[in-house]
C-alpha cells in the first residue's frame, strides 16, 4: 500500500540494511541495489530536512508520538536543538553525525529539488520528498538514477489500511510511490520487496490513470504467479474509469499522455494477470480476507467460511463496461495544475520558430508527433505515430526516450522517421520540427507538445497543436511568465477557476449526472465517481477538497456544487487522515446554516475522529443521512437522486 505517512510511522519493526545505499560515486552500487532501503520500521533512523519549519515541526511531533525513530534534522545555516533533537546545517554533516537511514524532505516545492540533490550527494539510503507540485523539469534535471520516492497524496492508502484493519488483518509495510508525473519509485520496485518479505502474506496495489506503471505491475504479477508455487494474493484498484477526458484529476500525474492506456485497459491487464479488482478502497479488507483464506495464507487466526465468503464477495468490483477507445489528444481540453494554451497560440509559437503551421491548407495523411515525459524512464521522450485515429493511437504510438541534457541524437531521428513512414521532402524537414519541439519543451518547461502534421511538397506542415506547460514552474518559482501570460480565463469554466482560488480541484463532468460529490483526496474522489457509476448512479462532478480539508473548504465546496442545477443530492465521502471527522461534520453543519441548503446530503465519514463526526451529524436535527458503510451510503444516494 502506498502512503508516506505509513511508510514513516506505522510499519512493523525491522532494521534497514545500511550497506545497500545509493551513491553518485563511481564504483558504488546501482539504483536497483537501493530498493531494499524501502524496508523501514521502528528502528529506522530518520532525519527531516527543513526540520525547524512549520510543516516539518508538526509532522515530526506526530511522528515521534507514533514511535518513529527521528534522530534530528537539517535546516541550512543552523546548529542547535529543535524538539529536543539536534539541528545541523547540512545533510552531509547530519549523515556523518546522526547516521540516518532515511530523510523526509519538508520544504517548499521550489526548494525541494535542491534538497533532494543534497540528500543524494550525502548518500542518504532512502529519500522521501513530500512537497506537492515540484516542477517537472526540476525533477528531469536530477541525476536519472537517483532514488526518490515522492508522495503527497495518500488518502486511498489510509483508507485501505483502515479497511484491512477492520477486516482483522494487519499491514506489514506501506510504500508510497506518489502521484507525481515522475515518481522515483514504481510498483515493480515495491512488488519485489513484498515478494520476499516474510511478514507480507497478501498485497494491495492502488493505481490510477496516467502512465504505464500499472501495466508493468501486471506483467510482474503474471510472471510471479507463473514462477511461484504458492503466490501471495494481490488485490488492486485503479481510479479514473469515469475521469473527464484530457483533464488532470487532482494528482499532478493523473492524466493520460498520447498512447498511454486508460483505466479500463489497466484493469483488464491486471485481471488477466491474476489480480482481484475492487472499485473502492473500503472493499480491500473483505476482498483480501477472502483471498487469504483461499490461498491458505490466512495466518492471522481468522476463519473464512463459505457463507462469509458469499457475503463478502459483493464488495468486489462489479462488471465493468466494455473498453472504450482512447480519446483524441487534440480535443479542446484544459488541465488544472497545468496550462494548455489556445491552439492558435501554439501554432504561432511554431511559426515564430520557422515551422510551416496553420489550421488550413493541409491535405493528406495525418501523423502525430509529440514531446512528452516518459514516466518509466524518468526522461523526456518523442512520441510518434504514423496515424492519428484515436482507436489506433495506443497501438501505433511509439516512445523514443532521450537524455535531458544531451537532447536528440541522429539515431533517434532516423528511428522516428522510419516509424512515421516518411519519405522525400518530409524526411528532410523532420529534424527541424523535432529540434524546434525539443528546444521549446526544455526552455519553456512544457509537459506536452503535441502536433499533427501532413506531408507537403518539399516538406511538412503542422495542422494541429496541443501545447501544455507545467504550471508548477510558474506558481512555485515564477518561471515562464511569458508562456503563462497566454492563459485565457474566458476559455475556462468559471466555477473551476473559483475552486482553484480556494485550493479545491473541481471538475464539472459532462452528461446528465445528478449526484454532487465532495471528497477529500484525488484518488478517493476518482474511486467515488467510479463506484457510484458501478452502482447505477451518475456523478455530476469530481471534487477534491485536498488532503487537509477544513470546515471552510467544505463550505466552499458546497457552494460550488450548488451552482450546478443538475445536482439532486450531494454525497460527502470523507476519510479522516490529516482531516478530522468532527471538523468535517462541523463544516457540513455550517454550510447548511449559512447556505440555506435545500438538497439532501448523504454523509460518510471514516477515519480519524469518525465517531465524533458521525455523532455530530446524527444529532444535528438537519436533513442529513449519515452512514458508516460505503455501499449503504451509495444506495441511499441513488434513492434520493432518482426521486425527482
Q: Would you name the residues annotated as active-site residues?
A: 251
Flag whether 387 is in a domain: yes
Statement to judge: residues 369 and 428 lie in one domain: yes
Flag whether 374 is in a domain: yes
**Number of other residues whose CB lies within 10 A of the CB of residue 241:** 23
Flag whether 591 is in a domain: yes
Flag whether 258 is in a domain: no
Distance of CA 29 to the CA centre of its chain: 29
Statement to judge: residues 434 and 547 lie in one domain: no
Flag whether 216 is in a domain: no
Higher pLDDT, 489 or 580: 489
Flag whether 521 is in a domain: yes
Beta strands in 409-567 (DSSP E): 446-456, 459-470, 505-508, 515-519, 541-544
CATH number for the domain spanning 363: value is 3.30.470.20
Flag whether 362 is in a domain: yes
User: Phi-psi region for residue 112, left (φ > 0), alpha (ψ -120 to 50) or beta?
Assistant: alpha
Phi, psi of 109 (to 5 degrees): -55, -40
pLDDT tens digits along 302-317: 433 333 332 333 334 4
pLDDT the model gives residue 643: 85
Statement to judge: residues 467 and 505 lie in one domain: no
Of 474, 502, 534, the one marking the end of a domain is 474
Statement to judge: residues 500 and 459 lie in one domain: no
339 pLDDT more than 60: yes
Mean pLDDT confidence for 578-596: 84
1 pLDDT more than 60: no
pLDDT tens digits along 65-122: 989 999 999 999 999 999 999 999 999 999 999 999 999 999 988 899 999 999 999 9
Q: Which of 88-92, 212-216, 357-361 has the lowest mean pLDDT?
A: 357-361
622 pLDDT more than 90: no
Average pLDDT of the chain, as a whole number = 84
Give dist(CA 181, CA 175) in Å, integer: 17
Q: 547 with 176: CB under 8 angstroms? A: no
Dihedral sign (CA 48, 54, 59, 60)? positive
Statement to judge: residues 501 and 623 lie in one domain: yes
**What band does 22 get if pLDDT is binned at 50, 70 and 90?**
very low
Q: Mention every residue, 6+ apart, whose C-beta is less than 8 A from residue 332.
A: none
- 621 burial class (0-12, 13-18, 19+ CB within 10 angstroms)? exposed
Provide the domain count of the chain: 2
**What band does 548 get if pLDDT is binned at 50, 70 and 90?**
low
Statement to judge: residues 461 and 537 lie in one domain: no
Q: 3-state SS of the chain: helix, strand, coil percent to 5?
A: 40, 20, 40
Statement to judge: residues 438 and 545 lie in one domain: no
Flag whether 15 is in a domain: no
Statement to judge: residues 390 and 428 lie in one domain: yes
Statement to judge: residues 408 and 518 lie in one domain: no
Cell of 303: 476463519
Comparing C-alpha atoms, which of 163, 180, 279, 278 is closest to residue 529? Answer: 279
pLDDT above 70 as % of the chain: 86
Statement to judge: residues 564 and 626 lie in one domain: yes
pLDDT tens digits along 122-156: 999 999 988 877 899 998 887 544 444 444 466 78
Give dist(CA 56, CA 135) in Å, integer: 21
Question: Domain range spanning residue 511?
Answer: 494-641
CATH number for the domain spanning 630: value is 3.40.50.261
Q: Mention every residue, 6+ apart, whose C-beta is less than 8 A from residue 627.
A: 602, 603, 604, 633, 636
Amino acid at each position: 500500500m502506498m502512503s508516506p505517512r505509513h511508510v514513516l510511522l506505522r510499519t512493523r519493526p525491522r532494521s534497514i540494511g545500511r550497506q545497500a545505499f545509493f551513491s553518485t560515486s563511481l564504483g558504488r552500487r546501482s539504483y536497483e541495489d537501493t530498493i531494499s532501503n524501502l524496508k523501514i520500521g521502528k528502528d529506522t533512523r530518520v532525519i527531516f530536512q527543513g526540520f525547524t519549519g512549520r510543516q516539518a515541526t508538526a509532522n515530526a511531533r506526530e511522528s515521534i508520538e507514533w514511535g518513529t525513530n527521528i534522530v534530528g534534522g537539517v535546516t541550512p545555516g543552523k546548529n542547535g536543538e529543535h524538539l529536543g533533537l539536534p539541528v545541523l546545517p547540512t545533510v552531509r554533516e547530519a549523515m556523518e553525525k546522526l547516521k540516518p537511514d532515511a530523510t523526509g524532505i519538508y520544504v517548499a516545492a521550489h526548494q525541494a529539488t535542491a534538497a533532494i540533490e543534497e540528500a543524494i550527494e550525502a548518500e542518504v539510503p532512502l529519500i522521501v520528498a513530500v512537497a506537492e507540485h515540484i516542477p517537472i523539469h526540476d525533477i528531469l534535471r536530477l541525476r536519472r538514477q537517483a532514488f526518490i520516492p515522492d508522495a503527497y497524496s495518500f488518502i486511498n492508502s489510509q483508507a485501505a489500511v483502515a479497511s484491512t484493519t477492520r477486516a482483522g488483518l494487519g499491514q506489514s509495510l506501506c510504500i508510497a510511490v506518489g502521484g507525481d508525473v515522475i515518481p522515483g519509485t514504481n510498483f515493480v520496485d515495491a512488488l519485489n520487496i513484498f515478494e520476499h518479505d516474510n511478514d507480507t502474506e497478501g498485497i494491495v496495489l492502488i493505481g490510477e490513470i496516467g502512465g504505464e506503471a500499472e501495466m508493468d505491475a501486471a506483467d510482474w504479477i503474471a510472471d510471479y504467479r507463473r514462477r511461484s508455487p504458492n503466490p501471495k494474493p494481490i488485490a488492486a484498484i485503479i481510479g479514473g474509469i469515469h475521469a473527464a477526458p484530457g483533464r488532470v484529476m487532482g494528482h499532478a500525474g493523473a492524466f493520460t499522455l498520447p498512447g498511454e492506456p486508460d483505466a479500463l485497459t489497466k484493469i483488464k491487464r491486471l485481471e488477466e494477470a491474476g489480480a482481484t479488482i475492487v472499485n473502492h478502497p473500503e472493499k480491500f479488507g473483505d476482498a483480501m480476507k477472502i483471498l487469504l483464506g483461499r490461498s491458505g495464507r490466512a495466518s492471522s487466526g481468522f476463519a473464512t467460511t463459505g457463507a462469509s465468503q458469499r457475503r463478502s464477495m459483493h464488495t468486489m468490483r462489479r462488471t465493468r463496461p466494455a473498453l472504450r477507445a482512447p480519446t483524441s489528444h487534440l480535443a479542446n481540453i484544459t488541465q488544472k495544475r497545468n496550462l494548455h494554451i489556445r491552439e492558435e497560440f501554439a501554432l504561432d509559437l511554431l511559426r515564430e520558430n520557422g515551422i510551416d503551421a496553420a489550421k488550413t491548407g493541409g491535405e493528406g495523411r495525418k501523423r502525430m508527433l509529440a514531446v512528452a515525459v516518459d514516466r518509466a524512464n524518468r526522461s523526456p521522450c518523442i512520441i510518434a505515430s504514423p496515424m492519428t485515429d484515436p482507436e489506433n493511437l495506443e497501438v501505433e504510438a511509439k516512445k523514443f526516450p532521450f537524455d535531458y541534457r544531451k537532447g536528440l541524437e541522429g539515431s533517434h531521428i532516423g528511428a522516428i522517421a522510419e516509424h512515421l513512414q516518411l519519405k522525400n521532402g518530409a524526411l528532410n524537414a523532420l529534424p527541424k520540427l523535432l529540434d524546434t519541439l525539443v528546444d521549446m519543451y526544455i526552455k519553456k518547461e512544457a509537459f506536452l507538445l503535441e502536433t499533427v502534421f501532413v506531408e507537403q511538397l518539399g516538406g511538412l506542415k503542422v495542422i494541429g497543436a496541443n501545447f501544455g506547460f507545467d504550471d508548477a514552474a510558474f506558481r512555485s518559482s515564477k518561471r515562464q511568465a511569458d508562456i503563462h501570460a497566454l492563459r485565457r480565463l474566458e476559455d475556462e469554466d468559471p466555477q473551476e477557476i473559483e475552486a482553484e482560488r480556494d485550493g479545491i480541484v473541481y471538475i464539472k463532468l459532462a452528461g446528465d449526472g445528478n449526484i454532487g460529490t465532495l471528497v477529500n483526496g484525488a484518488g478517493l474522489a476518482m474511486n467515488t465517481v467510479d463506484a457510484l457509476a458501478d452502482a447505477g448512479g451518475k456523478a455530476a462532478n469530481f471534487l477534491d477538497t485536498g488532503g487537509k480539508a477544513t470546515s471552510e473548504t467544505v463550505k466552499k465546496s458546497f457552494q460550488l456544487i450548488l451552482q450546478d442545477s443538475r445536482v439532486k443530492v450531494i454525497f460527502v465521502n470523507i476519510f479522516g487522515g490529516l482531516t478530522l471527522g468532527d471538523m468535517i461534520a462541523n463544516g457540513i453543519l455550517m454550510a447548511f446554516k449559512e447556505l440555506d441548503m435545500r438538497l439532501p446530503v448523504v454523509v460518510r465519514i471514516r477515519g480519524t475522529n469518525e465517531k465524533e463526526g458521525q455523532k455530530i451529524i446524527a444529532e444535528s436535527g438537519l436533513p442529513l443521512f449519515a452512514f458508516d458503510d460505503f455501499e449503504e451510503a451509495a444506495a441511499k444516494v441513488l434513492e434520493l437522486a432518482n426521486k425527482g
